[in-house]
């Protein structure tokens, strides 16, 4: 299996910077062992990044990636469609990824990448 396949199947961290890797990136899946102090900007954190012992995995990454999209294309923490500046299909992909119920989010980076790519035009 090549690097890209392993990345999409969440078998390696999304980013690999040797000097930072040990401090901030872990192999997925991981567990929040810091509670509310888990790394990251609060406005981009998924609900599980605030809960001690919660799983941290691809669904967490998907949430963060789409929260960034709301920062760039929408109302930052206001996820209403009225603040969204891209098409409605992209909004539907993004809003699914930032739902509080992690079971309703995309399961892998590959899944959300395909969903986003299929509606971005």
pLDDT at site 98: 93
| Residue 28: pLDDT over 90 | no
Q: Which two three-digit tokens encode residue 102?
A: 């992690």
Q: What average pLDDT score do residues 30-37 get?
A: 87
* Total-model pTM: 0.72
Those residues with Cβ within 8 angstroms of residue 17's Cβ, 6 or more apart along the chain or in another chain: 25
Location of structure tokens 């603040």: 83
**Contact (Cβ atoms closer than 8 angstroms) between residue 94 and residue 70:** yes
User: Which residue in 65, 55, 48 sits closest to 115, CA to CA?
Assistant: 65
Q: Which two three-digit tokens encode residue 98?
A: 């930032």
**What secondary structure letter does DSSP report for 107?**
S
Those residues with Cβ within 8 angstroms of residue 82's Cβ, 6 or more apart along the chain or in another chain: 75
Check residues 106 and 7 and name the one with the higher pLDDT: 106
**Contact (Cβ atoms closer than 8 angstroms) between residue 32 and residue 52:** yes
Chain mean pLDDT for the chain: 82
Check residues 17 and 121 and name the one with the higher pLDDT: 121
40-89 pLDDT tens trace: 888 899 999 999 999 998 899 889 989 999 999 999 999 999 999 999 99
Instruction: Determine the 3-state secondary structure of 11 from DSSP.
Output: coil
Location of structure tokens 């669904």: 59
pLDDT at site 21: 47
Reported as a pLDDT band with limits 50, 70 and 90, residue 39 is confident
| Residue 119: pLDDT over 90 | yes
């Amino acid at each position: 299996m090549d690097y890209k396949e392993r990345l999409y199947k969440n078998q390696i961290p999304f980013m690999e910077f040797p000097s930072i890797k040990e401090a901030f990136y872990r192999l997925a899946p991981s567990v929040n062992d810091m509670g509310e102090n888990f790394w990251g900007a609060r406005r981009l954190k998924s609900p599980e990044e605030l809960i001690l012992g919660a799983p941290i995995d691809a669904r967490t990454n998907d949430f963060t990636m789409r929260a960034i999209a709301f920062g760039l294309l929408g109302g930052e923490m206001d996820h209403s469609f009225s603040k969204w500046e891209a098409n409605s299909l992209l909004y539907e992909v993004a809003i699914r990824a930032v739902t509080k119920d992690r079971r309703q989010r995309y399961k892998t980076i590959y899944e959300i990448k395909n969903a986003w790519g299929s509606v971005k035009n």
